Amino acid sequence: MQNRMMITGAGSGLGREIALRWARDGWRLALSDVSEAGLQETLRQVRAAGGDGFVQRCDVRDYSQLTAFAQACEVKFGGIDIIVNNAGVASGGFFSELSLEDWDWQIAINLMGVVKGCKAFLPLLEQSKGKIINIASMAALMQGPAMSNYNVAKAGVVALSESLLVELAQQEIGVHVVCPSFFQTNLLDSFRGPTPAMKAQVGKLLESSPITAAEIADYIHTQVNAGQFMILPHEQGRMAWALKQKNPQALYDEMTLMADKMRAKAKQSAH
């Protein structure tokens, strides 16, 4: 390990906090995002925290931008030790309201963006015997109502991570997948949904989170060092996942009630 890390979606939120957590250990960070201003601010904070690195604008939908980013890591750092596929966007709406374009957009960024990140950086990770950290979501495991496209994309990230865990073990490449619940974030800036009421409901969920992005980054740091594959930073998330494994029907019943409540609320705000 030469302490070199790449992060997508590093311009804000969890991506920035992960950068800062590893920067405190003196790591060199390759930071990418679609927001130039966000990247510059993250780099400034990384340097203040004791790390260093460079920024490169990168849209994870475009494989050529990711391979160019990997080349930059090779030129500037001589390789990479950990990649963090964190870039993501939020969306919501009942299945009947979601357009196929909503599906394409969600899958292109939240799932294929991670696939492309892994693919572009795999040659460097084979050299360093490095680690992959994919950021999924509790939505991947719990499939809450009115966010089917998000649930499916994030469940894909978990399935990809499980596949890579077993396929890359022989090459001694470590794989981790993180499933945070909602936390205080600017994810809503990118939110796409059919109704303003839906955005307001998701916003309430995000704000009610008892845990900050910085605390999640800290938890990821600890669990990655401990060699934990599936990382669930929220205690409520760990409890919900344990319940689903024991008694899935109880969880489906709970989610069905939640869907009924959301429909009733949406009807109210429509009048």
What domains are there in the chain, each with its CATH number? 4-235 (3.40.50.720)
Kindly tell me the sign of the dihedral angle through the C-alpha atoms of 196, 200, 205, 207: positive
* Catalytic status, residue 252: no
pLDDT band at 139 (very low <50, low <70, confident <90, very high): very high
By percentage, how much of the chain surpasses pLDDT 90?
A: 72
In the sheet with 131-135, reading across from the earlier edge strand, the strands are: 52-57, 28-33, 4-7, 82-85, 131-135, 174-178, 230-231
| Per-residue pLDDT tens digits for 46-65 | 999 999 999 999 999 999 99
Q: What percent of the chain has pLDDT over 70?
A: 89
Contact 262, 145 (CB under 8 A): yes
Q: What is the mean pLDDT of residues 253-266?
A: 87
To 5 degrees, how large is the angle CA 253–CA 140–CA 109?
A: 140
Burial of 59 by CB count in 10 Å (0-12 exposed, 13-18 middle, 19+ buried)?
middle
Name the pLDDT band for 38 (thresholds 50, 70, 90).
very high
Which residues in the chain belong to E strands, given as ranges? 4-7, 28-33, 52-57, 82-85, 131-135, 174-178, 230-231
* Position with higher pLDDT, 192 vs 214: 214
52-110 confidence digits (pLDDT tens):
999 999 999 999 999 999 999 999 999 999 999 999 998 889 999 999 999 999 999 99
Closest CA to 133 of 99, 187, 180, 94: 180
190 DSSP assignment: G
Contacts of 271 (CB under 8 A, 6+ apart): none
Q: Give me the catalytic one of 63, 150, 219, 252.
A: 150
- Closest among 36, 78, 76, 43 to 59, alpha carbons compared: 36
Rounded to an integer, what distance in angstroms lies between the CA atom of residue 118 and that of residue 83?
8
- Cβ-count burial of 168 within 10 angstroms (0-12 exposed, 13-18 middle, 19+ buried)? buried
Q: Which segments within 34-110 are labelled E, that is strand?
A: 52-57, 82-85
Q: Which residues have CB under 8 Å from 143's CB, separation 6+? A: 151, 155, 255
| pTM of the complete model | 0.91
